[in-house]
Amino acid sequence: MVAKKGLGLSLGRKIHKARIESEARGETFYQGPSRGDLMSFPPKELWNNWTELDSKSWPDRVEKHYSLVPTTCFNCESACGLLAYIDLETNTVRKFEGNPLHPGSRGRNCAKGPATLNQVQDPDRILYPLKRQGKRGEGKWVRVSWDEALDAIALRIRNAINQERTDEVVCHIGRPGEDGFTERVLASWGVDGHNSHTNVCSSGGRAGWHYWTGIDRPSADYANAKVIFLISAHLETGHYFNPHAQRIQEAKEKGAKLIVFDTRLSNTATHADYWLAPQPGSEAAINLSIANYIISNKLYHREFIRRWWNWSEYMLEVKGVADAKFEDFEEALVEQYAEFTFEYAAAESGVDVSTLAEIAALIASAKTQLASHTWRSASAGNLGGWQISRTLLLLNALLGAIATEGGTFPNAWNKFVPRPIHVPPHPAKWNELSWPVEYPLAMNELSFLLPHLLEDGRGKLDVYFTRVYNPVWTNPDGMAWVEALSDEKKVECFVALTPTWNESAYFADYILPMGHASERHDLMSYEQYNGQWVSFRQPVLRAKAALEGRVVTDSREHNPGEVWEENEFWIDLSWRIDPTGEMGIRKFYESPNDSSRKISVDEYYSYIFDNSIPGLPETAAKENIKPLEYMRRYGSFEISRNVGQIFEDQIPDSELTDSVVSSMDRVYSPSPKPVGKNIVPMGDPDPDAQGRRPVGVKVDQELLRGFPTPSGKLEFYSSTLAKWGWPEHALPGYIKSHVHPQSLASDEMVLISTFRLPVQIHTRSANSKWLDEIAHTNPLWIHPSDAKRLGIDNTDLVRVSTEIGYFVVKPWVTEGIKPGVVACSHHMGRWKLQDHGQRQLMRTVTLDHSGRNWHLNPKEPVKPYESEDPDTLRIWWGDVGVHQNLTFPVHPDPISGMHCWHQAVTITKAEAGDVHGEVFVDTQKSRDVYNKWIDMTRDARDVSPNGQRRPRWLMRPLKPVAKAFALPSPKGTTDALPSDMPKV
């Protein structure tokens, strides 16, 4: 029998008391191995002095003592929490593990997080500012001081600003750091020079979202979904795969069904309940067939649609029916999508009718608990790819699964961008090199067209920054980039801000070393569940010193060599551009405590943490510490959970003074916009003719917040698309891809080139030896039936020929790819022109050219080498794949501006003399393709309904003042801007 009767209850009382007392002191009573989430995390109150046995001393039991300092991963875009284990004896980082307090990643990391250690310790990394000596690309460098580099660059920028050449300063952003930081720097200079990578990344996916909701990303509440629908390989890669994948897995454990569209048998596909491998580009046709099923069987959420779709605008503008009844719209809806039968979708996609019917029924059964997601994937591959995300959201909108538990949210409601101390005004001058007039509806800058726009003679660049970006390698048409960056008349000064060597940096004038995840400050927030959080990236050794009470004023003091962080770099550079304050720039960088000196990052973040993050000061006060110390100590803070349907919020009375309701039920008010703490970007609908701002929408006699769209509702019908030249695409629809079978020659196949490998991230992770060992090559996936037809097996080499050239690659014959489609992964084929530089994943090549014919020839494979790291002698791989992007011409979607990555290619056996990794490109042909795609656009000068070059309400990084939106005139030039902005 049980010997101690009553023990459970009496002990429970004591434990309960002890727990209450312990938690009142801010301690973690049930520390567990990871506070319940993972199996091995130390409780936060022990982070100051954490003891572990030294694995290298085994079997001796030698204790190591660590200080655990949080930061945020800087590899992919997920911004997962990391904990740096700083050896208290040597004051060096010994390892990185997950931060269990991070609300998004919850202590979990993929391989790239811990591999930050490799990047920090990389023997080939760039440690000092370098200046080019000799010709561009020649490979001769001299170490210079930061002062010398900064003064020279500042002088150029100062002159450009003073001479009103602000459009000659451009910063090309790769891995995003802190939301809006670089935009605000450029805005403070008055420069419309932000050039994101987004149009080679996610513009297609964003556009479909933006036209519907006024917000440009999805945030699915996976954990509570009944059905999860991914058009992507989202369990293994992408925005924001690690935090999302763990929640998808939770939902699956609760019985949710997972549907995955992926032409490859990806890791994600292997976890799906339904894996569909549709013909690339046919995804929207499938989505519409599911929509048709839902509509024709009346399975949609009638009340949600009636309240929140802009159906009356559609009936008025398209059907010409004023005061239409909802029933009329329902009839029109049936008619609109009737052609998209399962049979039609099956013919387009190659997926059989019964499977389509089965998933349609499953999706309909989810009702308001459908979590859907696409980001890059098909939306980034195809002409009209933006309609794939638009039709995907159509399914959510039909089911009312918008911002519901288990549904899909607009991202801005699950994200928090705290207001900083200064928000400089918008720049006054439009940058034609980033936002050409042919693309009035582009979601982001046409950054990947820069070499062609320069060659068109649309301008030149005085200073061109790349910031953790590698355009030569990452963008399509890399040889056009080599040509542009080699031409000092087009790009006068090229400054590469990079932690590591890359293909573009070789053509730079200055290479300025930037820190990795544990060597820089940023404040991050991403939509990863139905809640909002911020996470602090910080130089961990500096943070440790600060937590120990030491005063640190410059991150370089604790970083290796002279590696810096961007925040301090931009502050310093801005100060040097305007040292006296006469240009109006310096005021944004002065210390709030002493205007004679620069603002420190401590002051910058103290302002944000003290003033702009609800709840943080109170939480920190409970521990008797300042908010900055709280963030330095714990690294992240959750602001809210269960955000809900913000569009249903009542408009506060304070915003309704003298308000009016338009004929389409839009509510306008002359009240000034409240200054919010969260400045997350979203659409900004135009004011009415009297200048009153839209504050909401009238729904069933209630004045509600609505969506940031022109109508205030979900825009099933996009008046923006209709009025700006694309009325035929104003509704969610199907655009046949440029690689649609009808467009392919008989010997052509579709090449999918965009998929990532779970352990690498673009070119940035190449200096991670652990990751390189796992993944270092990119064979061409080809189905056995195609291999047989072409007479290819795994021992061959093949030539893959595109519109502008070819590359030579090893085939991988596998049933994991759809017949008629080949695939070659991202990340690989890294190269360098000189022997120095990154040596673990970059082979040495020669780059020969004759006229516009470029030939990249592998010279030396990757091989073991001696360095301060003994592991470099253990490199066993030599094959690092092929740089396929060089052979892709630009394919800018004429509406979204997204580069359409999929390629029509021919596959042949390699010819005599062909070498694996070899690439040939004719950049004259790439010019021809560029011109062909430009011809597909509808120029704002031809279609603008109001004299502007772009709808003002659309999101745009670094949006200029209204005046700068005026169309250029005459057609074909970029000057002679009218002095007055036409009235809206």
Number of H helices, E strands in the chain: 28, 35
- For residue 719, give every residue at least 6 positions away whose Cβ sits within 8 Å of its Cβ, in sequence order, or none: 313, 317, 710, 711, 730
Which residue number, 11 or 661, has a Cβ lying nearer to other proteins? Answer: 11
Distance of CA 260 to the CA centre of its chain: 21
Distance of CA 290 to the CA centre of its chain: 28
- Of 60, 63, 253, 618, the one binding other proteins (CB under 8 A) is 253
Which residue number, 12 or 978, has a Cβ lying nearer to other proteins? Answer: 12
Q: Which of 129, 328, 377 is nearest to 898 (CA)?
A: 377
Burial track 478-507 (b if 16+ CB lie within 10 A, e otherwise):
bbbbbbbbebeebbbbbbbbbbbbbbbbbb
Secondary structure (3-state) at 108: coil
In angstroms, what is the minimal distance from the CB of 51 to other proteins? 8
In angstroms, what is the minimal distance from the CB of 4 to other proteins? 4
- Judged by CB under 8 A, does residue 302 bind other proteins? no
Q: Give the Cα separation of 26 and 619 in Å (integer).
A: 10
In angstroms, what is the minimal distance from the CB of 226 to other proteins? 13
Residue 982, preceding bond cis, omega within 30 degrees?
Answer: no
For residue 357, count CB atoms less than 10 angstroms from its CB and return exposed for 0-12, middle for 13-18, buried for 19 or more: middle
- Judged by CB under 8 A, does residue 16 bind other proteins? yes
Which residue number, 405 or 487, has a Cβ lying nearer to other proteins? Answer: 405
Only one of the segments 15-23, 190-198, 534-542, 944-952 lies at the binding site for other proteins (rule: CB under 8 A); that segment is: 15-23
Which residue number, 12 or 878, has a Cβ lying nearer to other proteins? Answer: 12
Only one of the segments 13-21, 595-603, 640-648, 966-974 lies at the binding site for other proteins (rule: CB under 8 A); that segment is: 13-21
- Judged by CB under 8 A, does residue 32 bind other proteins? yes
Say which DSSP state 426 is in: P
Which residue number, 42 or 889, has a Cβ lying nearer to other proteins? Answer: 42
Which residue number, 32 or 947, has a Cβ lying nearer to other proteins? Answer: 32
Only one of the segments 6-14, 525-533, 593-601, 965-973 lies at the binding site for other proteins (rule: CB under 8 A); that segment is: 6-14
Size of the site for other proteins (CB under 8 A): 28
Beta bridge partners of 858: 845
- Identify the helix (H) or strand (E) that includes residue 534: strand 531-537
Which residue number, 410 or 531, has a Cβ lying nearer to other proteins? Answer: 531
- Judged by CB under 8 A, does residue 59 bind other proteins? no
Q: Give the Cα separation of 720 and 365 in Å (integer).
A: 33
Is the four-CA dihedral 324, 328, 334, 339 of positive or negative sign? negative
Secondary structure (3-state) at 327: helix
Which residue number, 140 or 254, has a Cβ lying nearer to other proteins? Answer: 254
- Judged by CB under 8 A, does residue 24 bind other proteins? no
Which residue number, 223 or 907, has a Cβ lying nearer to other proteins? Answer: 223
* Rg of the chain in Å (alpha carbons): 28
Amino acid identity, position 385: G
Secondary structure (3-state) at 24: helix
- Judged by CB under 8 A, does residue 676 bind other proteins? no
Which residue number, 28 or 640, has a Cβ lying nearer to other proteins? Answer: 28
- Judged by CB under 8 A, does residue 745 bind other proteins? no
Per-residue x/- marks for other proteins, 491-530, CB under 8 A? ----------------------------------------
Secondary structure (3-state) at 227: strand
Which residue number, 45 or 339, has a Cβ lying nearer to other proteins? Answer: 45
In angstroms, what is the minimal distance from the CB of 103 to other proteins? 18
Residue pointed to by tokens 């996609």: 349
- Judged by CB under 8 A, does residue 273 bind other proteins? no
Task: Give the number of C-alpha atoms closer than 13 A to the C-alpha of residue 494, restricted to the C-beta side.
Answer: 28
- Judged by CB under 8 A, does residue 3 bind other proteins? yes
- For residue 550, give every residue at least 6 positions away whose Cβ sits within 8 Å of its Cβ, in sequence order, or none: none
- For residue 569, give every residue at least 6 positions away whose Cβ sits within 8 Å of its Cβ, in sequence order, or none: 497, 512, 514
Which residue number, 15 or 142, has a Cβ lying nearer to other proteins? Answer: 15
Only one of the segments 5-13, 476-484, 776-784, 939-947 lies at the binding site for other proteins (rule: CB under 8 A); that segment is: 5-13
- Judged by CB under 8 A, does residue 18 bind other proteins? yes
Q: Give the Cα separation of 316 and 308 in Å (integer).
A: 16
The strand ranges marked E within 356-420 are: 370-373, 408-410
In angstroms, what is the minimal distance from the CB of 1 to other proteins? 5
- Of 59, 255, 320, 913, the one binding other proteins (CB under 8 A) is 255
- Judged by CB under 8 A, does residue 13 bind other proteins? yes
Q: Are 768 and 503 in contact (CB under 8 A)?
A: no
- Judged by CB under 8 A, does residue 48 bind other proteins? no
* 972-976, Cβ contacts within 8 angstroms, sequence gap of 24 or more: 974/432, 974/437, 974/458, 974/459
Only one of the segments 9-17, 228-236, 595-603, 710-718 lies at the binding site for other proteins (rule: CB under 8 A); that segment is: 9-17
Q: Quickly list DSSP for 26-59.
A: T--SS-TTTTTTSSS---GGGTTSEEEE-GGGTT
- Judged by CB under 8 A, does residue 870 bind other proteins? no
- Judged by CB under 8 A, does residue 15 bind other proteins? yes
In angstroms, what is the minimal distance from the CB of 777 to other proteins? 35
- Identify the helix (H) or strand (E) that includes residue 848: strand 843-850
In angstroms, what is the minimal distance from the CB of 353 to other proteins? 32
- Judged by CB under 8 A, does residue 22 bind other proteins? yes
- Judged by CB under 8 A, does residue 30 bind other proteins? yes
- Judged by CB under 8 A, does residue 33 bind other proteins? yes
Q: Are 831 and 842 in contact (CB under 8 A)?
A: yes
Only one of the segments 14-22, 187-195, 489-497, 792-800 lies at the binding site for other proteins (rule: CB under 8 A); that segment is: 14-22
In angstroms, what is the minimal distance from the CB of 36 to other proteins? 8
Only one of the segments 8-16, 164-172, 213-221, 840-848 lies at the binding site for other proteins (rule: CB under 8 A); that segment is: 8-16
Neighbours of 614 (CB within 10 A): 14
Positions that interact with other proteins (CB under 8 A)? 1-9, 11-16, 18-19, 22, 30-33, 36, 42, 250, 253-255
